[in-house]
């Protein structure tokens, strides 16, 4: 039990071997009395939420397969309808919010959600919507529609949502 | 692996110090909603027996210091504390080292508190090698000036001194950590001391906050906030509460990583399509694309010399870790084992890379020795995330999931010591270990 000394001590001990008198060491002085440790709290408020056109909130989701960013055939008519609407109303703007399931890294999931949003954005563009009308963003795993750890739940979180801003 | 659960506070301690400690806990309870419960899991490694007595005249301080020093050392999983009860060892004289050795200690601290001008205090301490048979047994000492409110920082500095002298590795106690707490639908970005105490809320938001990143000088945090219903990067000056938008381009803005010089950040933007890595000045100007791939590039992290940027990319199909020169150019693949390797985090000394890997459906923190490219898994839970190195490169903080609730844990970079920092009744995630406090 006595021989637990680590190399650093041994080194320090050896370094001091030349002196026979214990030389009083000048202690290092630190003044920590002026360091600030108080952190004021800032409150952020959610923006844009009240601007969302309530008529456009429900039923506007496109779902994706696991590890996939290809729009399923059953979603095509929905995307087509949105593209027609946007082409018809040039003043309309839509945000495509991509989402991902919660497994793994948050930042990588954010990128996966973006990949889904981007797939929808490109489809809308091909179908006649203007670039200035669409913003593809990702909420990653931060806004799950379902919070259980099950495949059916994860499937609900792999989606893109259409969110129209009120004019 | 042997599981060693140790109490948060040393068992035997003088009644007075206990009262002081209790007074501290009561006093802190209003500001701190984090009651940290620490469990140390060791692999039966040798513990260094050390005496940290009650400081001479410690009762003149409103809060105990020796108690915090003891807790730091014990929590590190590298020391065992030899109790000598209420006995003090004044700094002004060399203690009876033979007697200390006879109690089983290999090192002992002699420390005194002296009143100073303006209600401040002076802490003087010296550390002794009790096994030294001849020559000078003193391992060094220090004089600290402090106001009573700084007892925790002073204690962490003393613990850092002892840790470094006795292990040869710089300490990490006088540091702060940032993390996000989710309570119901509320999110808080909190800052706490490395022991989880002294927690303060920097930002409260109804929307998620992710990816906090400390500026190299520890004065600012960059992070991603969803308060505008899309990811936007902010830079938040902690002392003033001032926040500025760093990047709010069309699309998503995320994954801020400070360059070692603090003048630029690597960020991920989607303004040109999928997630790609850009460099941007710390004032938000001069965004320019660093790399170009047809897939996802994200989670940039700088090597400490500023020469490399490690990042996650799915350019080969599965997400893997790559690195590229911070001046641009081709990328070199770093990870090859497994189908999911993400969140690269180089150690501050540049020798190791911590990352997240998936193995049989479980997400674990692993560490790679950058010279040999050898990989060692460090954790064994199902859902670990967000590894973050301590400034000494020897401890890694990470997020884990216990019973569906997010918690923080720390592990030594060799996997021999593990500790859990649990914050009661809250979901904690996204830890980031800050630099040494100035």
Is residue B58 classed as helix, strand or coil in its secondary structure? helix
The stretch B7-25 carries a mean pLDDT of 33
| Interface subset of B 337-356, CB within 8 angstroms of A | 340, 342-343, 356
A3-12, B41-50, B378-387: least confidently modelled range: A3-12
- State the pLDDT at residue B4: 31
C-alpha angle B171-B173-B179 in degrees, rounded to nearest 5: 125
The stretch A11-27 carries a mean pLDDT of 37
Which residue, among A33, A93, A101, A139, would best test binding to B if mutated, counting the most B CBs under 10 Å from its CB?
Answer: A33
Which of A41, A49, A135 shows the shortest C-beta gap to B251? A135
The residue among B137, B133, B286, B312 whose CA lies nearest residue B211 is: B312
CA distance B83 to chain A (A): 17
Residue A3 binned pLDDT confidence (cut-offs 50, 70, 90): very low
Whether residue B136 is predicted with pLDDT greater than 70 in this model: the reply is yes
Higher pLDDT, B28 or B371: B371
- State the pLDDT at residue B82: 96
Give the side-chain half-sphere CA count within 13 A for B16. 17
Q: Is B240 on the interface with A (CB under 8 A)?
A: yes
The stretch A85-109 carries a mean pLDDT of 94
Q: Say if CB B124 and CB B143 are below 8 A apart.
A: yes
| Helix H or strand E segment including B358 | strand B352-359
Kindly list the structural domains of chain B, giving each domain's residue range(s) and its CATH number in brackets, ordered by start.
46-167 (3.40.50.10070), 175-436 (2.120.10.30)
- State the pLDDT at residue B229: 92
d(CA B242, CA A157): 34
In B69-137, which ranges are E strands? Answer: 79-81, 107-115, 121-129
Q: Say if CB B363 and CB A104 are below 8 A apart.
A: yes
Whether residue B36 is predicted with pLDDT greater than 80 in this model: the reply is no
Percent of chain B's residues with pLDDT above 70: 89
Q: Is A19 on the interface with B (CB under 8 A)?
A: yes
CA distance A19 to chain B (A): 7
The reply to whether A122 falls in a domain is yes
| Interface subset of A 86-115, CB within 8 angstroms of B | 95, 97, 103-108, 110-112, 114-115
- State the pLDDT at residue A147: 84
Q: Is B204 on the interface with A (CB under 8 A)?
A: yes
The reply to whether A72 falls in a domain is yes
- State the pLDDT at residue B149: 87
pLDDT in tens, A51-86: 444 444 445 899 999 878 999 999 999 999 999 999
Which of A20, A49, A107 shows the shortest C-beta gap to B299? A107
pLDDT in tens, B332-370: 999 999 999 999 999 999 999 999 999 999 999 999 999
- State the pLDDT at residue A1: 37
Is residue B347 classed as helix, strand or coil in its secondary structure? coil
Percent of chain B's residues with pLDDT above 90: 77
The stretch B177-197 carries a mean pLDDT of 93
d(CA A51, CA A36): 40
pLDDT in tens, B92-135: 999 999 999 999 999 999 999 999 998 999 999 999 999 988 88
Whether residue B398 is predicted with pLDDT greater than 70 in this model: the reply is yes
d(CA B114, CA B124): 8
| Helix H or strand E segment including B376 | strand B374-377
Q: Is A73 on the interface with B (CB under 8 A)?
A: no
Residue B392 binned pLDDT confidence (cut-offs 50, 70, 90): very high
Whether residue B163 is predicted with pLDDT greater than 80 in this model: the reply is yes
* Chain B positions in Cβ-Cβ contact with residue A32 (cut-off 8 Å): 144-146, 150, 153-154, 157
Which of A40, A112, A140 shows the shortest C-beta gap to B241? A40
Question: In the 8-state DSSP scheme, what is residue B382?
Answer: S
Is residue B28 classed as helix, strand or coil in its secondary structure? helix
CA distance B268 to chain A (A): 9
Which residue, among A111, A125, A136, A150, would best test binding to B if mutated, counting the most B CBs under 10 Å from its CB?
Answer: A111
Q: Is B137 on the interface with A (CB under 8 A)?
A: yes
Is residue B275 classed as helix, strand or coil in its secondary structure? coil
- State the pLDDT at residue B419: 83
Whether residue B195 is predicted with pLDDT greater than 90 in this model: the reply is no
Q: At what angle do helices B151-167 and A7-15 cross, to 10 degrees?
A: 80
In SS3 terms, chain A reads as CCCCCCHHHHHHHHHCCCCCCCCCCCCEEEECCCCCCCCCCEECCCCCHHHECHHHCCCCEEECCCCCCCCCHHHHHHHHHHHHHHHHCCCCCEEEEEECCCCCCHHHHHHHHHHHHHHHHHHHHHCCCCHHHEEEEEEECCCCCCCCCCHHHHHHHCEEEEEEECC
Q: Using alpha carbons, list the distances in angstroms from residue B370 to B222, B322, B334.
A: 27, 13, 9
Mean pLDDT value across chain A: 77
- Cβ-based neighbours of A44, under 8 Å, separated by 6 or more: B203, B204, B205, B206, B207, B225, B227
Q: Say if CB B159 and CB B167 are below 8 A apart.
A: no
- CB–CB contact A40 B204 (8 Å): no
DSSP bridge partners of B140: B127
- CB–CB contact B227 A45 (8 Å): yes
Q: Is A137 on the interface with B (CB under 8 A)?
A: yes
Q: Is B146 on the interface with A (CB under 8 A)?
A: yes
Above 0.90 for ipTM, yes or no?
no
CA distance B353 to chain A (A): 16
Q: Is B270 on the interface with A (CB under 8 A)?
A: yes
Q: How many CB atoms lie within 10 A of CB A21?
A: 7
The reply to whether A28 falls in a domain is no
Burial, B328: exposed, middle or buried (Cβ in 10 Å; 0-12, 13-18, 19+)?
Answer: middle
- CB–CB contact A136 B270 (8 Å): yes
Residue B39 binned pLDDT confidence (cut-offs 50, 70, 90): low
- State the pLDDT at residue B417: 84
Is residue B175 classed as helix, strand or coil in its secondary structure? strand
- State the pLDDT at residue B421: 78
Q: Domain tally for chain A?
A: 1
Higher pLDDT, A27 or B242: B242
d(CA B190, CA A4): 39
- State the pLDDT at residue B265: 98
| Host domain of residue A74 | 52-164
CA distance A38 to chain B (A): 7
The reply to whether A126 falls in a domain is yes
Q: Say if CB A156 and CB A62 are below 8 A apart.
A: no
Q: Is B141 on the interface with A (CB under 8 A)?
A: yes
Is residue B149 classed as helix, strand or coil in its secondary structure? helix
d(CA B223, CA B253): 10
* Chain B positions in Cβ-Cβ contact with residue A27 (cut-off 8 Å): 124, 126, 140-143
Residue A125 sits in a domain whose CATH number is 3.30.1330.60
- State the pLDDT at residue B40: 61
Is residue B241 classed as helix, strand or coil in its secondary structure? coil
| Interface subset of B 393-432, CB within 8 angstroms of A | 404, 429-430
Q: Is A30 on the interface with B (CB under 8 A)?
A: yes
Question: In the 8-state DSSP scheme, what is residue B56?
Answer: B
CA distance A77 to chain B (A): 24
Phi-psi region of B206 (alpha: psi -120 to 50; beta: other; left: phi over 0): alpha
Which of B141, B251, B438 shows the shortest C-beta gap to A35? B438
The reply to whether A42 falls in a domain is no
The reply to whether A10 falls in a domain is no
The stretch B23-34 carries a mean pLDDT of 34
Whether residue B248 is predicted with pLDDT greater than 60 in this model: the reply is yes
Residue B415 binned pLDDT confidence (cut-offs 50, 70, 90): confident
CA distance B13 to chain A (A): 24
Q: Is A124 on the interface with B (CB under 8 A)?
A: no
- State the pLDDT at residue B20: 32
- State the pLDDT at residue B168: 92
- State the pLDDT at residue B420: 81
The stretch B301-322 carries a mean pLDDT of 97
Whether residue B416 is predicted with pLDDT greater than 60 in this model: the reply is yes
- Cβ-based neighbours of B361, under 8 Å, separated by 6 or more: B382
The alpha carbon torsion through B427, B389, B412, B438 (nearest 10 deg) reads -100
- CB–CB contact A118 B138 (8 Å): no
Residue A12 binned pLDDT confidence (cut-offs 50, 70, 90): very low
- Cβ-based neighbours of B363, under 8 Å, separated by 6 or more: A103, A104, B340, B356, B357, B382, B383, B384, B385
- State the pLDDT at residue A59: 58
Residue of B nearest to A133 (CA): B250
Mean pLDDT value across chain B: 89
């Amino acid at each position: 039990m006595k021989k637990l000394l680590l190399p650093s001590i041994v080194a320090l001990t050896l370094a001091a071997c030349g002196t026979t008198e214990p030389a009083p060491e000048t202690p290092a002085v630190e003044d920590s009395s002026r360091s600030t440790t108080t952190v004021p709290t800032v409150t952020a408020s959610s923006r844009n939420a009240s601007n969302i056109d309530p008529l456009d909130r429900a039923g506007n989701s496109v779902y994706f397969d696991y590890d996939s960013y290809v729009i399923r055939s059953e979603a095509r008519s929905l995307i087509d309808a949105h593209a027609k609407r946007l082409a018809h109303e040039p003043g309309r703007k839509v945000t495509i919010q991509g989402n991902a399931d919660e497994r793994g890294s948050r930042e990588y999931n954010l990128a996966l959600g973006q990949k889904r949003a981007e797939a929808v954005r490109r489809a809308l563009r091909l179908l006649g919507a203007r670039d200035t009308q669409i913003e593809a963003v990702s909420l990653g795993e931060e806004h799950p529609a379902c919070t259980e750890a099950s495949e059916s739940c994860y499937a609900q979180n792999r989606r893109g949502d259409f969110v129209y801003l009120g004019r | 692996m042997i599981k060693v659960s140790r109490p948060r506070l040393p068992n035997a301690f003088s009644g007075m110090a206990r009262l002081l400690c209790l007074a501290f806990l009561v006093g802190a309870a209003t500001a701190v909603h984090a009651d940290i419960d620490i469990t140390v899991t060791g692999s039966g490694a040798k513990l260094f027996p050390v005496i940290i007595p009650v400081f001479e005249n410690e009762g003149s301080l409103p809060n105990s210091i020796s108690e915090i020093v003891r807790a730091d050392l014990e929590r590190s999983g590298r020391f065992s504390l030899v109790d000598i009860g209420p006995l003090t060892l004044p700094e002004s004289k060399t203690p009876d080292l033979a007697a200390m050795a006879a109690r089983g200690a290999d090192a002992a601290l002699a420390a005194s508190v002296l009143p100073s001008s303006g209600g401040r205090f002076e802490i003087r301490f010296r550390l002794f090698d009790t096994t030294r048979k001849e020559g000078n047994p003193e391992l060094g000492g220090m004089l600290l000036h402090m106001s009573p409110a700084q007892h925790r920082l002073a204690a962490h500095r003393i613990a850092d001194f002892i840790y470094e002298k006795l292990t040869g590795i710089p300490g990490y106690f006088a540091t702060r950590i940032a993390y996000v707490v989710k309570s119901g639908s509320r999110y808080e970005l909190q800052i706490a001391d490395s022991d989880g105490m002294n927690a303060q809320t920097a930002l409260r938001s109804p929307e998620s906050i992710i990816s906090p990143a400390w500026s190299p000088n520890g004065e600012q945090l960059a992070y991603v906030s969803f308060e505008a219903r899309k990811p936007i990067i902010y830079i938040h000056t902690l002392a003033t509460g001032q926040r500025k938008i760093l990047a709010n381009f069309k699309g998503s803005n995320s994954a801020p990583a400070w360059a070692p010089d603090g003048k630029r950040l690597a960020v991920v933007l989607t303004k040109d399509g999928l997630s790609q890595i850009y460099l941007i000045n710390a004032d938000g100007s001069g965004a320019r694309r660093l790399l170009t791939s047809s897939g996802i590039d994200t989670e940039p992290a700088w090597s400490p010399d500023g020469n490399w940027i490690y990042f996650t990319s799915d350019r080969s199909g599965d997400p893997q870790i790559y690195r590229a020169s911070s001046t641009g150019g081709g990328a070199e693949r770093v990870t090859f084992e497994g189908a999911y390797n993400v969140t690269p985090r180089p150690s501050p000394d540049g020798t190791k890379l911590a990352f997240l890997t998936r193995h049989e459906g479980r997400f674990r923190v692993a560490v790679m020795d950058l010279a040999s490219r050898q990989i060692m898994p460090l954790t064994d839970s199902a859902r670990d995330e967000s590894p973050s190195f301590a400034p000494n490169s020897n401890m890694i903080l990470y997020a884990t999931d216990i019973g569906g609730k997010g918690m923080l844990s720390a592990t030594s970079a060799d996997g021999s010591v593990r500790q859990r920092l649990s914050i009661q009744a809250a979901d904690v995630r996204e830890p980031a270990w800050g630099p040494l406090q100035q």
